[in-house]
Amino acid sequence: MANSSKIWLITGASSGFGLAMTEYLLSKGDTVIATLRNPSAISHLSSKYPSSQLDVVQLDVSQRAQVVAAFAHVKEKFGRLDVVFNNAGVNILGEVESLMDNEGYMEDAKKAFDTNFWGAAYVSGEAVKFFREVNPKGYGGRLLQTSSTLGVNGRPCAGFYAASKHALDGLSDSLVQELDPSWNIKVTVICSGPFLTSFVGTNQWLPEQHPAYAAPDSASSKFRHFLTNPPPIFADPAEGVKVVEKLVHIEGPPLRFPLHVIAADRMRERATRLKEDADAYQSWSEGFSGTGARI
């Protein structure tokens, strides 16, 4: 992937990281296929750049047929694809019990999972297929998966969102192990910390809190307040995408990349807890070691 000017496909390009990345790449001279549910949301960009540099495609990633069609369009129009920024997502807050006790809220949670996990899975599969079968042999490609610290450690009042990001992390971990190294396809999960995106605004569902958790000093109440009243630690996504873009120029990128100092802290916390549990209870499981090979 030696080309200095790259062709990117971005999902969720209407706001947040998707919009910020689209704007940044266009300013650098890269080509962007910007996919989003409502193309008019970036009309200010489509009127500024030619369709040869900014190609706007209507796409709901939760609909697999639309994802397949979007990649077919890229094949026909550009014939090559360097990077897929798998970014589309929606947020939903609410204690597990708060959502489980309300049928309407559960439908919202399922819709969020359809986008955050199934939509990301559809895009991942089509990206790998394109990189392997459409790009020149061995040319490869980069798949950037937008996740969150909540995909590393769950937090109160965010169980369903965290579950969708944990699922994406597991999918990506498995996918990397399935890829033949000769395909030259690299995957990185972006573990994003707090950024001032639409996830703390218009792209966030905030169901009514269950009375049992409503005490002001409860963990879930504090986290609700943190997200709905973002402190200065929330960073600018326009700066964040500049860091993410650098990953496509690294020959051996990491599987998981912490985007924010808090993200790095959460990754270390998770690793420490796993090691502590493994060390403390390994003796309980030694009788199950068996004699077979471990895979």
For residue 227, pLDDT over 80 is answered with no
pLDDT score of 46: 96
What pLDDT shows up at residue 285? 86
pLDDT score at 200: 56
Compute the distance between CA of residue 52 and CA of residue 80 in angstroms, rounded to an integer: 13
Cα first-last separation, the chain:
32
In Å, how far from its chain's centre is CA 277?
Answer: 28
CATH of 7-277, one of 1.10.10.10, 3.40.50.720, 4.10.520.10, 2.40.110.10: 3.40.50.720
Tell me the two tokens of residue 275.
Answer: 């090691």
Average pLDDT rounded to a whole number, residues 32-42 = 97
Euclidean distance between CA atoms 82 and 178, whole angstroms: 20
Tokens of 122: 């559809």
Whole-structure pTM value: 0.93
Amino acid at 254: P
pLDDT at 295: 65
Q: How far apart are CA 104 and CA 31, in angstroms?
A: 40
Residue with tokens 């199934």: 118
Q: What is the mean pLDDT of residues 31-53?
A: 97
pLDDT at 223: 87
Query: Kind and range of the H or E element at 85?
Result: strand 83-86
Higher pLDDT, 36 or 106: 36
Structure confidence by residue, pLDDT tens digits, 69-125: 999 999 999 999 999 999 999 888 889 998 988 888 889 899 999 999 999 999 999
To which residue do tokens 């990345």 refer?
Answer: 21
**Taking residues 225-230, what's their average pLDDT?**
79
User: What was the pLDDT predicted at 203?
Assistant: 52
Segment 10-17 mean pLDDT:
96
* Cβ neighbours of residue 208 closer than 8 Å, sequence gap 6 or more: 98, 102
Segment 11-25 mean pLDDT? 97
pLDDT in tens, 240-283: 999 999 999 999 999 999 999 999 999 999 999 999 999 999 99
